[in-house]
Chain A
Amino acid sequence: MTALAKWLALASIAGLCLGILREQIGLALLSLSVLLWLLVEWLLFAWRVRIELRALSLERSVNGRSEPTGILWAGRNVSIEVHLRSSIIGIGPLVQIRDVVPENLEVSNRAHDVTIRSRVHSAVFRYEARVLGAGQLRLPGFRIAMRDAQGFFRAERFLPLVQKFRVLPAFMSAGDAQPIVKRINSLPQHGIHRLQRSGMGSELLELREYVPGDPPKSIAWKVSARRDKLMTRQYESEVPVRLQLFVDGSIGTRIGGFGLRLLDQMNFVAASVAKAAISAGDPVGAILFDERGLRRVPSATGDRGFHRLLEALSDFSVNPAPSPDRLTNRLLDAAMSVVAEQFPDLMDARVNHIPFFLFPILPWAQRRLRNRYQLAAVIAHLYRLSPAKQIRLVYDDGLMATYAQHFLSQSGMAWMEPVVTIRSRGFHDGMARMEILSAALARAVSQARDNEVFVVMADLLECVPSLSHLMPAVKMALARHHRVAFVCPSPTFLRPTAESTNIRSLSLPDLLLAAEQTRTRDLASRLQYELRRTGATVSISGEANAIQLVLSEMAIARTGRVAAGGVR
Chain B
Amino acid sequence: MSQLLSEQKSSASRAETFVVLESSDQTSQFGGLLILSVIAAATGLLVLLAPNMPWSIRIFSIAIVLLTLRFWGGFAVLVAVQLDLLLRETQRSSTFQGPVGMLTVFLIIALLMFINRNRELLKRAASRPLSVIWARIVAALKGEIAFEPARAVREIRRMAGGLIRGVAILTGCVFGSRILLSMLPGRRTLGRDLQQWFLDDTSVARSSLLLVLVAAAWILCNEISWRQLTRDQTRLYLRSVFLVIHHADLRMVVRRGLKLRSRAARGRKDLTAATGPVEPKSIAE
Distance A32 CA – B96 CA, assembled complex (angstroms): 13
Cross-chain contact B19 with A124 (CB below 8 angstroms): yes
Closest residue to A94 on the B side, CB-wise?
B120
Given contacts A151-B116, A346-B232, A395-B258, whether A4 and B154 have CB atoms under 8 Å apart is no
Which of B78, B119, B274 gathers most chain A CB within 10 Å?
Answer: B78
Shortest distance between the CB of B165 and any CB in chain A (Å)? 8
Interface size, B (range): 35 or more
Binds A, one of B44-52, B100-108, B204-212: B100-108
- Chain A residues with CB under 8 Å of B229's CB are 351
| Residue of A20, A125, A321, A395 touching B254 (CB-CB under 8 A) | A395
Is B255 in contact with chain A by the CB < 8 A criterion? Answer: yes
- Chain B residues with CB under 8 Å of A123's CB are 18-21
Is A256 in contact with chain B by the CB < 8 A criterion? Answer: no
The secondary-structure label for the interface of chain B is helix
Interface size, A (range): 35 or more
| Residue of B241, B244, B278 touching A324 (CB-CB under 8 A) | B278
Cross-chain contact B244 with A391 (CB below 8 angstroms): no
Cross-chain contact B117 with A125 (CB below 8 angstroms): no
Cross-chain contact A113 with B284 (CB below 8 angstroms): no
A349-407 residues with Cβ-Cβ distance < 8 A to B are 350-356, 377-378, 380-384, 387-388, 390-392, 395-396, 398-399, 402-403, 406-407
Closest residue to B185 on the A side, CB-wise?
A20
- Chain B residues with CB under 8 Å of A30's CB are 78, 81-82, 85, 105, 108-109
| Residue of A41, A97, A124, A388 touching B253 (CB-CB under 8 A) | A388
Is A8 in contact with chain B by the CB < 8 A criterion? Answer: yes
Cross-chain contact A125 with B21 (CB below 8 angstroms): yes
Binds A, one of B55-63, B141-149, B174-182, B193-201: B174-182
- Chain B residues with CB under 8 Å of A83's CB are 18
Distance A381 CA – B237 CA, assembled complex (angstroms): 10
Closest residue to B180 on the A side, CB-wise?
A32
Cross-chain contact B18 with A124 (CB below 8 angstroms): yes
- Chain B residues with CB under 8 Å of A11's CB are 75, 78-79, 82
Is B282 in contact with chain A by the CB < 8 A criterion? Answer: yes
Is A432 in contact with chain B by the CB < 8 A criterion? Answer: no
Cross-chain contact A383 with B280 (CB below 8 angstroms): yes
| Residue of A4, A19, A50, A321 touching B75 (CB-CB under 8 A) | A4
A108-167 residues with Cβ-Cβ distance < 8 A to B are 109-111, 113-118, 120, 122-126, 149-152, 162
Distance A117 CA – B274 CA, assembled complex (angstroms): 54
Cross-chain contact B24 with A378 (CB below 8 angstroms): no
Cross-chain contact B117 with A149 (CB below 8 angstroms): yes
- Chain B residues with CB under 8 Å of A388's CB are 250, 253-254
Is A457 in contact with chain B by the CB < 8 A criterion? Answer: no
Cross-chain contact B73 with A353 (CB below 8 angstroms): no
Is B17 in contact with chain A by the CB < 8 A criterion? Answer: yes
Is A7 in contact with chain B by the CB < 8 A criterion? Answer: yes
Shortest distance between the CB of B194 and any CB in chain A (Å)? 15
Q: Using an 8 Å CB-CB cutoff, how does the interface string of A20-36 with B read, 1 for contact, 0 for none?
A: 11111111111111111
Distance A324 CA – B236 CA, assembled complex (angstroms): 27
Distance A245 CA – B253 CA, assembled complex (angstroms): 53
- Chain A residues with CB under 8 Å of B247's CB are 355, 391
Which of B73, B102, B186, B240 gathers most chain A CB within 10 Å?
Answer: B240
Is A345 in contact with chain B by the CB < 8 A criterion? Answer: yes
- Chain B residues with CB under 8 Å of A151's CB are 73, 116, 119-120
Cross-chain contact A324 with B275 (CB below 8 angstroms): yes
Q: Using an 8 Å CB-CB cutoff, how does the interface string of A301-335 with B read, 1 for contact, 0 for none?
A: 00000000000000000000100100000000000
Cross-chain contact A391 with B85 (CB below 8 angstroms): no
Is A18 in contact with chain B by the CB < 8 A criterion? Answer: yes
Cross-chain contact B24 with A122 (CB below 8 angstroms): no
B136-181 residues with Cβ-Cβ distance < 8 A to A are 154, 157-158, 161-162, 166, 169-170, 172-174, 176-178, 180-181
Cross-chain contact B173 with A381 (CB below 8 angstroms): no
Given contacts A24-B86, A40-B173, whether A406 and B243 have CB atoms under 8 Å apart is no
Given contacts A26-B89, A114-B21, A351-B229, whether A387 and B116 have CB atoms under 8 Å apart is no
Q: Could you list 30 A-B pairs, sorted by A, with CB under 8 Å?
A: A4-B73, A11-B82, A12-B78, A23-B92, A24-B86, A26-B104, A29-B96, A29-B177, A33-B106, A115-B26, A118-B157, A120-B19, A122-B17, A122-B19, A124-B19, A345-B230, A345-B232, A348-B233, A350-B225, A350-B237, A351-B234, A377-B236, A377-B239, A377-B240, A383-B284, A391-B254, A398-B275, A399-B275, A410-B282, A410-B283
Interface residues in chain B, defined as those with a beta carbon under 8 Å from any beta carbon in chain A: 16-26, 72-75, 78-79, 81-82, 85-86, 89-93, 95-97, 101-102, 104-106, 108-109, 112-113, 116-117, 119-120, 154, 157-158, 161-162, 166, 169-170, 172-174, 176-178, 180-181, 184, 186-188, 225, 228-230, 232-237, 239-244, 246-247, 250-251, 253-255, 258, 274-275, 278-285
Excluding A20-B187, A36-B180, 8 further A-B contacts by CB distance (< 8 Å) are A28-B181, A32-B177, A98-B24, A115-B21, A351-B236, A388-B250, A398-B274, A410-B282
